[in-house]
Amino acid sequence: MKAIVISTHGGPEVLTVTELPDPVAAAGEVLIRVRAFGLNHAEAYMRSGAWGPVADVPGIECAGLVEDDPSGRLPVGTTVVAILGGMGRTRNGSYAELVTVPATNVAVVDSRLPWADLAAVPEVYATAYNALHGNLGLRAGETLLVRGATSSLGQAAVNLGVRHGATVLATTRHPAHAPLLKELGASEVLIDDGRLAPVAGRRGLAVDALLDVVGNSVLRDSLAAVGPRGRVCQVGFLGGFEPVADFDPIADLPSGVRLSFFGSAFVLGTPAFPLSDVPLDEIYALVEAGALRARPTRIFRFDEIVEAHRVMEAGRALGKMVVTLD
């Protein structure tokens, strides 16, 4: 099979198309013929070496057809999506014509959407859904602040928050991106210079829940930006992996404010966080009906993977990008 491998840790140019033996599904796994896969910042971190030793083939999600299921549960040719389950991290991932995935991380899909559209949903929507409804316990009528909202994960969170009946505030570093977030349903767009808490205070914004895609570099400010008994969930590291220096709960964690983290790469598909908890069929139906704006912003061919990673790292995606296979 053709696969894209990390030849050595480094920039996008280290991604190389090569031939590898076809994988074989073991017990408890499903072999999938990949038709499209989404692009994620996690794959750039793996490629660069920021996450240490990883699998040769990156890719943490895909859409495709069942090629083999040793259990007999899924017939050959069944349309499925697969998310995580160690893909790209502890086992070869979805940047390939074929991939084996733990059965717990495979979901059957009933949708007429094209492959590129199917591949644009799984990781970001599963992460956003778990963070909003699990970690943050978002309720209709509350005010949700999505920090890092122009990312594909941030846009998914804005979409789901608005759909759930929350008043959604969104942030971006670039004023030119504000209209995009308004189109998604954000009631207000804040320009993020790293100091949102003073802005929220001056405007009298009572933030009940904050989803932070930016991460450690703004964590203290995010905690200060929510109201009394507010909730903060960190889901990303767009601002870098540098730890929060000298974090002191007494000084940095306001009394009554709750802080949590959702790391989909490590837990999604486990008994505590089953993939079945995510209403993927409902989400795909809403995408198909135009009620959720989740279609890919750009589609690349398999042999354009280096350019795709360059666009992603330059922050020019403005949404979810995918790669399709013939």
Q: Which CATH number do you get for residue 249?
A: 3.40.50.720
Residue 232 lies in a domain: yes
275 and 83 Cβ atoms separated by less than 8 Å: yes
- Domain extent, residue 193, equals 124-262
Residues 189 and 217 in one domain: yes
Residues 67 and 14 in one domain: yes
Residues 256 and 290 in one domain: no
CA-wise closest residue to 180 among 293, 286, 285, 39: 293
Give the pLDDT of residue 186: 97
Residues 228 and 278 in one domain: no
Q: How does pLDDT run across 14-59, given as a tens digit for each residue?
A: 999 999 999 999 999 999 999 999 999 999 999 999 989 999 999 9
Over residues 295-322, the mean pLDDT reads 96
Residue 146 lies in a domain: yes
Residue 76: give its domain's CATH number. Answer: 3.90.180.10
CA-wise closest residue to 256 among 321, 200, 208: 208
Residue 162 lies in a domain: yes
Long-range contacts of 11-16 (CB under 8 A, 24+ apart): 11/48, 11/309, 12/47, 12/305, 12/306, 12/307, 12/308, 12/309, 12/310, 12/313, 13/306, 14/47, 15/47, 15/58, 15/95, 15/305, 15/306, 15/309
Residues 72 and 155 in one domain: no
Residues 150 and 258 in one domain: yes
Q: What Rg value do the Cα atoms of the chain yield, rounded? A: 19
Over residues 104-131, the mean pLDDT reads 97
Beta carbons within 10 angstroms of residue 262's beta carbon: 21
Residue 267 lies in a domain: no
Residues 255 and 130 in one domain: yes
Q: How does pLDDT run across 208-233, given as a tens digit for each residue?
A: 999 999 999 999 999 999 999 999 99
The answer, yes or no, to whether residue 241 has pLDDT greater than 90, is: no
Coil, helix or strand for 122?
Answer: helix
Give the pLDDT of residue 200: 81
Give the pLDDT of residue 289: 95
Residue 300 lies in a domain: yes
Residues 243 and 132 in one domain: yes
Residues 254 and 299 in one domain: no
Q: How does pLDDT run across 274-308, given as a tens digit for each residue?
A: 999 999 999 999 999 999 999 999 999 999 999 99
Where does residue 84 fall: left (phi above 0), alpha (psi -120 to 50 degrees), or beta otherwise?
left
The DSSP line for 201-234 is HHHT---SEEEESS-GGGHHHHHHHS-TT-EEEE
Q: What are the tokens at 148?
A: 């890092």
Determine the angle formed by the axes of helices 122-129 and 280-289, rounding to 10 degrees.
120
The mean pLDDT of the chain is 96
Residue 175 lies in a domain: yes
Residue 109 lies in a domain: yes
The answer, yes or no, to whether residue 256 has pLDDT greater than 90, is: yes
Least confident of 58-67, 100-109, 196-205: 196-205
The answer, yes or no, to whether residue 201 has pLDDT greater than 90, is: no
Q: How far apart (Å, rounded) are the C-alpha atoms in residues 222 and 234?
A: 9
The answer, yes or no, to whether residue 326 has pLDDT greater than 90, is: no
Coil, helix or strand for 276?
Answer: helix
Q: How far apart (Å, rounded) are the C-alpha atoms in residues 223 and 234?
A: 10
Give the pLDDT of residue 83: 98
% of the chain surpassing 70 pLDDT: 100
Most distant CA atoms of the chain, gap in Å: 60
Q: How does pLDDT run across 265-276, given as a tens digit for each residue?
A: 999 999 999 999
Number of domains in the chain: 2
Q: Report the amino acid identity of residue 300.
A: F
The last residue of one of the domains, among 243, 262, 281, is 262
Over residues 186-212, the mean pLDDT reads 91
% of the chain surpassing 90 pLDDT: 93
Give the pLDDT of residue 226: 96
Residues 12 and 95 in one domain: yes
Q: Report the amino acid identity of residue 150.
A: T
Residues 151 and 164 in one domain: yes
The answer, yes or no, to whether residue 202 has pLDDT greater than 90, is: no
Residues 141 and 237 in one domain: yes
Give the pLDDT of residue 221: 96
Q: 80: buried, middle or exposed (CB in 10 Å: 19+, 13-18, 0-12)?
A: buried
33 and 65 Cβ atoms separated by less than 8 Å: yes
Residue 234 lies in a domain: yes
The last residue of one of the domains, among 209, 238, 262, is 262
Q: How far apart (Å, rounded) are the C-alpha atoms in residues 174 and 177?
A: 6
Over residues 48-75, the mean pLDDT reads 96
Over residues 121-147, the mean pLDDT reads 98
- Alpha-helical (H) ranges within the chain are 41-48, 115-119, 122-129, 152-163, 178-183, 196-203, 219-225, 249-252, 264-267, 280-289, 305-313
The last residue of one of the domains, among 240, 262, 284, is 262
